[in-house]
Amino acid sequence: MLVPKPIQRMIDALSRLPGIGPKTASRLTFFLLRADGELNIELATSLNELRSGTGTCRQCFNITTAGQELCPICASNQRDQTLICVVEEALDVIALERTEGYKGLYHVLDGALSPIEGIGPEDLHIAELQERLSDGEVVEVIIATNPSMEGDATAMYLQQQFAKLGVRLTRLARGLPMGGDLEYADQNTLLRALSGRQDLDA
């Protein structure tokens, strides 16, 4: 069946989103076609502001509001400045914050080491992390990369790089499933993983 170009364009665009196949994209498109104008306007406005209204924290590389140099976590004097949790993506910060069990700072790598995909140390925010650790203020670094081959490779690389800095290096306990992502873990699993973290040299 031939559909008008605007509808096909929307289906194609939605199909490019993760977890959305052609059937789901078609259902969403026809839902939006029948929805009231307010929803469509709100959705269009939100999409336009998604990029223009956000920025990156210059210290931890978490997502923050445009125009703010530091994210609310880095700017807070209520957070433990001696503790840094290293994660792969900004979504992982949201997942860990939901547990309400972590009160330190974060460092977002923006990915994980993956030679197959051509992602090396220079493609991640590892040099910036090393710079943050150089002043001696940080006592512990929790490596909270995903429990996957890439996440484990990244954790091992960070251990090798920072072993001589005199900082305690820990890794989230194996309460997390292999091959899973932090963003999909439930709060209790994440909380247990944080509480049961172990030294990498143990």
- pLDDT tens digits, 100-123: 999 999 999 999 999 999 999 999
Q: How many domains does the chain have?
A: 2
User: What is the extent of the structural domain holding 44?
Assistant: 5-52
CATH code where residue 120 lies: 3.40.1360.10
- Per-residue pLDDT band for 175 (boundaries 50, 70, 90) equals low
- 126-146 pLDDT, tens per residue? 999 999 998 889 999 999 999
- Per-residue pLDDT band for 164 (boundaries 50, 70, 90) equals confident
Task: Report the mean per-residue pLDDT for the chain.
Answer: 91
The pLDDT value given to residue 1: 58
**Residues 187 and 118 occupy one common structural domain:** yes
Q: Please state the pTM of the whole predicted model.
A: 0.79
Residue among 11, 18, 2 at smallest CA distance from 32: 11
| pLDDT(202) > 60 | no
**Residues 99 and 134 occupy one common structural domain:** yes
Rounded to the nearest angstrom, the gap between the alpha carbon of residue 136 and the centroid of all alpha carbons in its chain is 25
- Residue owning tokens 């910060």: 93
**Residues 113 and 16 occupy one common structural domain:** no
- Residue owning tokens 């703010």: 68
**Residues 31 and 110 occupy one common structural domain:** no
CATH code where residue 19 lies: 1.10.8.420
**Residues 84 and 10 occupy one common structural domain:** no
For range 74-83, the mean pLDDT: 96
Rounded to the nearest angstrom, the gap between the alpha carbon of residue 35 and the centroid of all alpha carbons in its chain is 32
